[in-house]
Amino acid sequence: MLGLTAFVSVRAIRQTAEASETAPGVPNAVRAFLDAYADTLIPDTDTPGAKSVGAPAFVELMMSHTPDPKDLAKFQTKLDLIRAEFDKRAGASFAQLDAARRAQVLEAFDRDVLTGKAGHEYALEYGQLRSVTLYAYYTSEVGATQELRYQLVPGRYDADIPFDPHARAYSNFT
């Protein structure tokens, strides 16, 4: 469903999401889940996190710009199942948990769904949700210029340089 972005002006969606507008018709429970999910996936650190840059609004707008209403209905149904599974694993509303507990639930959920150990009927849609959330963050101004080290044209080629596992990756996205 969200893979059909070729029909959508991503720039228009990005501008709308950055203006903190949200898609019409998204229930408050889903909106709260998307906020908590984005905040848990990429939390605020020394740089703003996914929720702070408007990733949940971007996800909502991508959903609302789906060309086929049947795809949207299917995705919303699967998103409800995903949200219900998060709440079940948390023993409460995922959106109401503290950050540490949300991180534990997300890690366990990712381990189960993304590794394919158990056949989940919503694995595809969860992968799409995760991908679009990450895309929204890393294509935002903050993600591209503060989280990633921005260089329009990286410097010269050095075949043998020291590796620092704590260094940030490079980006030339503007």
Residue 15: what pLDDT?
Answer: 55
Domain range for residue 84? Answer: 5-152+163-171
Does residue 158 lie within any of the structural domains?
A: no
**How many domains does the chain contain in total?**
1
Nearest partner of 86 among 63, 59, 104, 61, judged by Cα = 104
Q: Would the pLDDT of 160 be above 80?
A: no
Tell me how far apart the alpha carbons of residues 138 and 55 are, in angstroms, rounded to a whole number: 10
Would you say residue 157 lies in a domain? Answer: no
Render pLDDT for 43-73 as a digit per residue (tens, 0 to 9).
999 999 999 999 999 999 888 887 788 888 8
Whether residue 83 is contained in a domain is answered as yes
In a domain, 112, yes or no: yes
Least confident span in 65-79, 80-94, 100-114, 122-136: 65-79
Q: DSSP characters for 104-164? A: HHHHHHHHHHHTTSS--TTHHHHHHHHHHHHHHHHTSHHIIIIITEE-SS-----SS----
Read off the pLDDT of each residue in 70-81 and give the average, rounded to a whole number: 88
Q: Which residue has the higher pLDDT, 153 or 102?
A: 102
